[in-house]
Amino acid sequence: MRIKYNRDQKIKGNLTQNFDKDYAFLEKALDRSGDIVKNVFYVGDTADIQSIMEEQTDTNTDSDTNSIMEEQTDANTDSDISSATKGQTDANTDSDIGRKTVSKRIVKTTQNNKKIKPKKAAVIYVDGMTDADMVEDFVIRPLLKNKCEKTGHDFLSYVENHVMETVDWKEDESFEDILTDILSGNTLLLLESCPKAIILSTKKYPSRGVGETQQEMVIRGPKDSFTENIRMNTALIRRRIRDSRLKMEHTMVGERSKTDLAIVYMDDLVQPELLEKVRQKVNALSFDGILDGGMVEQLLEENVWTPFPQFQHTERPDKAASGLLEGRIVLVVDNSPGVLILPVTYQMFFQAGDDYYTRFEVASFARLLRFAASLFAIGFPGLYVAIAAFHTEMLPTSFLLSIATARTGIVIPVALEVLLMEFQFELLKEAGIHLPGQLGGTIGIVGGLIVGQAAVEAGIVSTIVVIVVSFTAIASFIVPNESFGSVFRLLKFLFIVTAAIWGIYGYLLTFAALLLHLSQIESFGVPYMLPSVCGENLNYDDKKDHYVRYPFAYMKKRPVFTREGRRIRKR
């Protein structure tokens, strides 16, 4: 059989009920595919040998017993040596006759067994992705010990219900689905004369254990984080929401990678329109390989030309569980140590994991600090360029004299000076990310202290610019979400350029354009700027968890994207 593909690169054909042809086709399709284990055997192979050995043992035992009894009888009846000898001779003769009878029965049993044609079976799996001990103990060994004269559907049903010692299995007949399951870590059981194959769930991926999150650190609260194993990630969510209304729909994305993806939601809280929209967009994904949740995020987002994330990425299971209880949807992608939450608004990126585990006064102060830090991270360097280059009259005289003194001997313009220092900081940040931990800290110290101090002493930059860039860098790190904070790295350069060209007017126009752009973004039908935009019309303020966090006693309602009639969370 030739391997043929459809237009969508899927293998054509189903099982033909011819064991040799089907096995040859699968063997050819998996040729040079790596550590593929193929084991062909006969069902009930050890059962026949065991039954013959047991029968032979029983027959020999009966023969020996009869000979002993006859010998004792003859010995008791005759008193002389000749009669005892005669009895012993008769007993030996009877024993020989018994052995001949046993041999005939063994031959007859063997001949009867040869009349029943043994059925072939094969198991195929990938070594390293499959629990080989489970396959050997609960699949192969029971099949070797049990024999059945049934064929077709009856034989398949008998094996599933009476032979296999495992419960997680399914039937399949499509070559495409069978090969996908094998390469996903499952085990194929192919039986002769059966119309379908059995797919056994025996996955055992090499993966790391649950560790501590590296991006969303908290002082108080759970420390566990998601891993690259989708099963472990869904279990971490299920551990926190023990409700039967928590639903998980599993599918595969990627034409060649066939990556597992789970759509997780609360059945009574999610909006049906939102759920159906997400299903359609996920099913419409057509890409060669989906290797991480970041690729799913870029393929599903509605506006690809905005730098602002339209999904909330998190490594924390408690944050994912909190989003589910608000009526949002969580996408869990295999091989990704994080999940995607949708829909999202901009103020959700300023919420940290420990905001809900500490006092509301402390959490509210920290959240306001993050909002203020985001403004400084975006616009502080541009504001300095606009004032120092065009509008020095806006500064007090004493402060202006300090800036002038600091810039004594600096020959390059203010805008170029700021851009040079910002560019140096971005280089140090990228170097620190991609280098090992200890070297990353070392490069930061060397670049921040030694290079910065040397640049000031050489008269390339002024001390005030070093302070501005350092303050901007610290402010950008305060935002708890990395994908949202990285946008500030791009926007601050835009503000610097416009301020260097048009001064404070260009700075303000850029800020207005940014607000206009944010007000036009939607995340699956939800305005990105809630509650600043459409907040009063949608009665969003009842949530009381945006710029500050109210006490839990006042947070009685869920957000507006929860299903109608299900917004009450506390009575």
Given this model, what pLDDT does residue 431 score?
A: 79
**How many angstroms separate the CA atoms of 73 and 80, rounded?**
14
Q: Residues near 387 by Cβ (< 8 Å), separated by ≥ 6? A: 394, 395, 504
pLDDT in tens, 113-145: 444 567 889 999 999 889 889 999 988 998 888
Helices (H), 151-198: 152-158, 175-183
Query: Are the beta carbons of 34 and 128 closer than 8 angstroms?
Result: no
Write the CA distances from 566 to 187, 471, 569, integer angstroms: 43, 44, 8
**How many angstroms separate the CA atoms of 391 and 504, rounded?**
8
pLDDT category of residue 542 using cuts at 50, 70 and 90: low
Q: How many Cα atoms within 13 Å fall on the side-chain side of residue 424?
A: 23
Given this model, what pLDDT does residue 349 score?
A: 92
pLDDT in tens, 475-532: 988 888 888 988 988 999 999 999 999 999 999 999 999 999 999 999 998 889 887 7
Q: How many Cα atoms within 13 Å fall on the side-chain side of residue 70?
A: 17
Q: Any bridge partners for residue 242, and if so which? A: none
**% of the chain exceeding 90 in pLDDT:** 39
Give the mean pLDDT of the chain: 82
Where do the domains of the chain lie? 1-49+115-204, 230-344, 370-527
pLDDT in tens, 27-69: 998 988 878 999 999 987 665 555 545 555 554 545 444 544 4
